[in-house]
Amino acid sequence: MELRIVCLPGDGIGPEVVAAAERVLTRVAERFGHRLLVERHDFAGASWDRTGEAFPDAVRAACAAAPAILLGAVGDPRHDRLPQAERPERALLELRRMLGAYANLRPVRVDTVLPHSPFRPEAIEGADLLIVRELTGGIYYGEPRGIRGEGRNRVGVNTLRYDVAEIERIARVAFRAAGRRRGLVCSVDKANVLESSALWREVVASLAGEFPNVTLDHMYVDRAAMELVRDPRQFDVILTGNMFGDILSDEAAILAGSLGLLPSASVGDGGGLYEPVHGSAPDIVGQGIANPLAAISSAAMMLDLTFGLEEEARAVEAAVRACLRGDRLPRDLGGDASTEEIAGRVLDAL
């Protein structure tokens, strides 16, 4: 079949890891007899540098028309002083909103506990959880927002809001996912303090009856952060809002081994957006040592969820696991293999 994708390498290590993922997709297409058509665009900081706009209209149009988008990372310290509305990160928020990609799926599997892990293997081995993070609402988008006033009288304001429809649609994604997994949803909120969370909890609970094979639990986010490292195997699907999901997924990445391993898929009304959970890693950019496995696993999620190519996706996942069991690891996992070498290992395993 035809695999038409838009690639947005973005900033920092984004281009390095997306190039590796593209090599893997090219190999998959060869091996399974598909036609890969890649359209590449500057995005976020990279686009701002070239055009003065982080998300130009032509790129918006290309993304809106794409069945799937593979994104590297956004964010560059050189742009940190720009007003919020012009920052590279805002381009990513606009892209997610434009696509209606309200469900961010972040799977975390602990297959092999690598020697460099800060965890005892027996405490985390076999953990297998899916964070279902609401992605187009909550405090990231709520109005009013901004910094008002002058000098010492300035006030910074953001608004955390969720309406019933937003909660229902993300909760259904989590319930359905749990139905295909171990049948547990843990909804994470701060309902003891926040009204938006009290409504979240009420609405999620009201849907549980539609999914008789799924057990629903609720947990406050502070406790969830603790339970995630104390006993991660208790979790199957974690359902949570935009900001809590952002924070908990970086924490969960260390269960798997590193941020360089965690993929994500953002799905909803339109085309799928696939991106590693990590950022642009300015501290290692240009050194050729970024771990490409999160980007490669994100491409596997794309094969599965957008193109329905389950066998191809499983083949890429197996190749990633084989690479992790091998004798050469990237630097974030305690080795010294380069981005190229790790991508080469995955290609060999394919």
Interacting residue ranges for ligand IPM, rule: CB under 6 A: 74-75, 89, 92-93, 246, 277, 279
Length, in residues, of the chain? 350
| Position with the least CB separation from ligand IPM | 89
Instruction: Please state, in angstroms and rounded to a whole number, the distance separating the CA atoms of residues 60 and 58.
Output: 5
> Is 222 noted as a catalytic residue in this protein?
yes
| One of 9, 15, 75, 257 touching ligand NAD (CB under 6 A) | 75
Q: Is 304 a catalytic residue?
A: no
Nearest to 170, CA basis, from 136, 130, 143: 136
- Give the dihedral of Cα atoms 134, 182, 326, 256; nearest 10 deg: 40
Task: Spot the catalytic one: 140, 236, 274, 332.
Answer: 140
Q: Provide the minimum distance between the beta carbon of 184 and Mn ion in the complex, in angstroms, as a whole number.
A: 24
**CA–CA separation, 84 and 1 (whole Å):** 41
Site stretch for ligand NAD (CB under 6 A), options 133-141, 218-226, 279-287, 308-316: 279-287
Cis ω for the linkage preceding 144 (within 30 of 0): yes
Q: Which of 11, 190, 236, 304 is catalytic?
A: 190
For the record, the structure tokens of 223 come out as 């406790």
* Interface pattern 236-275 for ligand NAD (x via CB under 6 A): -----------------------xx--------------x
Asked if 244 and 221 touch (Cβ cutoff 8 Å), the reply is yes
Report the nearest approach of ligand IPM to the CB of residue 93 (Å).
6
Q: Which of 239, 249, 232 is nearest to 294 (CA)?
A: 249
Query: HSE on the CB side for 31, CA within 13 Å?
Result: 16
What one-character DSSP code corresponds to residue 162? -
Kindly give the pairing relationship between strand 265-267 and strand 272-274.
antiparallel
Note whether 279 binds ligand NAD by CB under 6 A.
yes
**What is the helix (H) or strand (E) element at residue 108, kind and residue range?**
strand 103-109
| Cβ distance to ligand IPM smaller for residue 3 or 7 | 7
Nearest residue to Mn ion by CB is: 246
Output the six-digit token pair for 139. 């405090």
* Separation between Cα atoms, residue 111 and residue 233, nearest integer Å: 12
∠ CA 331-333-335, nearest 5°, is 50
**Site string (204-243) toward ligand NAD, x via CB under 6 A:** ----------------------------------------
Determine if 81 is a binding residue for ligand NAD (CB under 6 A). no
> Residue 136 corresponds to which tokens in the numbers above?
């187009």
Smallest gap from Cβ 279 to Mn ion, in A, equals 7
Cα–Cα dist 252/117, whole Å: 12
> Annotated catalytic, 250?
yes
Q: Which member of 16, 76, 189, 246 binds Mn ion (CB under 5 A)?
A: 246
Tell me which residues in 281-340 interact with ligand NAD (CB under 6 A): 281-284, 290-291, 294, 332
Minimum CB distance to Mn ion, residue 243 (Å):
10
Size of the site for ligand NAD (CB under 6 A): 21
- Token couple for 77: 């310290």
| Residue (74 or 129) nearer to ligand IPM, CB | 74
The stretch near Mn ion (CB under 5 A) out of 14-22, 203-211, 239-247, 321-329 is 239-247
Residues at the interface with ligand NAD (CB under 6 A): 13, 17, 73-75, 89, 92, 259-260, 275, 278-284, 290-291, 294, 332
Catalytic positions are 140, 190, 222, 246, 250
Residues at the interface with Mn ion (CB under 5 A): 246
